[in-house]
Amino acid sequence: MPERDVRSILGSFMFSGESVDKIVSALSGGERARLLLTKLSLQHANFLILDEPTNHLDIDSREVLETALNEFNGTIFFVSHDRYFINAVATEVVELSPNGTRFFDGDYDYYLEKTAGEQAASHRAKASFETTEEFKEASATPIENLSREERKERQKEQRKLERAVSAAEEEMETLNTKRDALNAELNDPANGADLGKLTDLSKEIAALDAQLATVEEQWTEASMALEEFNN
C-alpha cells in the first residue's frame, strides 16, 4: 500500500506523528488493541467473533473500537460485560441463563426494558432459600382451612421469603456498585500502560460477575417462591 494510505488508515485508529514509527513491543495495551483492530479492518472479513473486546482498553481506545465496529458492514458476534459498550454496539441481544437461551431483537436498552419486570435487577443481590415439602403442602392449602398453628407457620415462611428477597437485592446492589467502580478504574487512561494492574482488575471484575450470576439465580428462586406463596 502507498505510505499515504497506510498513514491515513493508522490515523483513523489514533496513530499519528511519531507513533506511526513505533515498534510493536513499545506499544501500550490499548495501542496494541487498536493495532489489531487496524489489521482486522484491512482483512475485509464479513464476520467477527470478539471475546470481551474492551478489556484493557482506555476510554479513547474504546471509543475508536465502538466507531470501527459500528461502521463495520459485516456481522459481529461478541461477548462482553461492559454494559456501555453493549449499548453502543449491539443491535440484537442473546441472553444465556440456566433456563436456556432467549433472543431479543433490539439494543441493550430494549433488552433491559423487556427483562426489568422479570429480574428486577442486574442491580441487586444475595440470599439463599430452600423450599421444604411441608412448606409446599402448607402454601397449597387454602388459609381458611389451616389451624392457628399452621397459619403462624405460614406467616413465618412468608416473612422468611421476604427477608431472602430483600437481602438478595441489597447484596446485588453492593456487588454492582463494586463492579462499576472497578470498571471505572479499568477504563481510567492513567492505568492504560500498566498491564499487570489491568489484568488484576479484569480478574476482579470476572469474579464479581460470577458472584452476581449466582446471586441473581438465588434472587429469582426466592422471588418465584414468594410469588407462588402469595398466589
pLDDT recorded at residue 146:
56
Q: For residue 168, how many other CB atoms are within 10 A of its CB?
A: 26
| C-alpha span between 69 and 89 (Å, rounded) | 7
pLDDT digits (tens, 9 = 90+) for 157-189: 777 888 888 888 888 888 888 888 887 887 777
Nearest Cα to 123, choosing from 178, 42, 205?
Answer: 178
Matching residue, cell 449466582: 214
What is the Cα–Cα distance from 49 to 75, expressed in whole angstroms? 9
Q: Could you tell me which of 104, 103, 107, 105 has the C-alpha nearest to residue 85?
A: 107
What pLDDT, on the 0 to 100 scale, is given for residue 126? 43
Continuous H helices in the chain: 3-12, 29-42, 59-71, 83-89, 108-119, 133-140, 148-186, 195-230
Low-confidence ranges of the chain (pLDDT < 50): 121-135, 138
Rounded distance, CA 19 to CA 36, Å? 15
Domain architecture of the chain: domains with CATH: 3-117 (3.40.50.300), 120-230 (no CATH)
